[in-house]
Chain A
């Protein structure tokens, strides 16, 4: 606890990406305080013009990710006391995404890449057909299970140096989504997905730096999923597929 002062020294990014600076705020320390609590306190008590994004506050919606003391984090489930640097906090918008204002980034490129990676379900049946049974311990299901809990928070995207170096790289989240579909028995067009992820900027762009896996707040392993896509695309090419 930094109860000695009772106040946190918080630097918050204000303005857009090209035209902005950090602004200092003093925020009272509270018990069980999250980074989102701190940002909300500033907006409610110090400066109502502060822009940021959040919705569920329980780590499900993926809206509130920001850079906290230089690391990408989900702010609603990051406790202040665990990341405090002395009694200082620096809160900035997510890296690798254009800033709209203050802590709110433009997530469009991030979601557009899910579409580019063919990360949508291609159905094998209509709603009038019976549901095919898939057991929880089927190998493909287990592999998809390990990756399916993604909340689209873009923490992995912000932590990835390959995204920083190549704006066309699809990124860990979109590729991980593609990997869940490759392992989905009800996915009808796996060839289209493999073609999409084998393109320039696809899975082979990944340098296995592992920042996605190190920072994923849900403790998923996108690097493993991207490696799976690399294997699947090579196998498909050897078999004379896409």
Chain B
């Protein structure tokens, strides 16, 4: 990576762009599989059986990660461009999100 790109804002942009591209590649396959429910239900059942395989289950984590990263990247962009926050307010907002993730994480660990 070229030196002038080595800062968090550019990395956030890069992550948003790459996750978007990966999701764009995934979506046609997703719709194609869903369309089998109408066109050939037997093939869909076969596919769903294959989707139970551990490796595919694991790959779904990647998918959820891409979705989460892209969704939060989009929210970040909306906040960045539509809310004229001062740097201090941005820090507070980031702190609030971090705090919420921490609290949620504690509850999640308790539940597990």
Contacts and interface: CB of A to CB of B under 8 A. Distances in A.
Interface of A: 69-72, 95, 143, 158-159, 161, 207-211, 213-215, 223-224, 227-228, 230-231
A231 B3 CA distance: 31
Contact of B4 (A72, A143, A208, A213): A72
B55 interface: no
B80 A207 contact: no
Interface residues of B, number: 14
B7 A211 contact: yes
Nearest to B82: A231
Interface in B42-58: none
Given A230-B81, A231-B82, A70 B3 contact: yes
Contact of A211 (B9, B81, B84): B9
B82 A210 contact: no
A159 B12 CA distance: 16
A102 to B, nearest CB: 21
Contacts of A159: 4
**Highest count of chain B CB atoms <10 Å: which of A158, A211, A223:** A211
Contacts, number: 50
B30 interface: no
B77 interface: yes
A235 to B, nearest CB: 11
B84 A209 contact: no
Interface of B: 2-5, 7, 9-10, 12-13, 77, 80-82, 84
B62 to A, nearest CB: 25
A208 B9 contact: yes
Contacts of A70: 2-4
Contacts of B10: 161, 209-211, 214
A158 B80 CA distance: 22
B109 to A, nearest CB: 34
A84 to B, nearest CB: 14
A69 B6 CA distance: 13
21 contacts: A70-B2, A70-B3, A71-B4, A95-B4, A143-B84, A159-B4, A207-B13, A209-B5, A209-B9, A210-B12, A210-B13, A211-B4, A214-B7, A214-B9, A223-B9, A223-B80, A224-B84, A227-B84, A230-B81, A231-B82, A231-B84
Contact of B9 (A69, A71, A213, A227): A213
A161 B13 CA distance: 11
A95 B5 CA distance: 13
Contacts of B82: 227, 231
Nearest to B84: A228
Given A209-B10, A209-B13, A214-B9, A227 B80 contact: yes
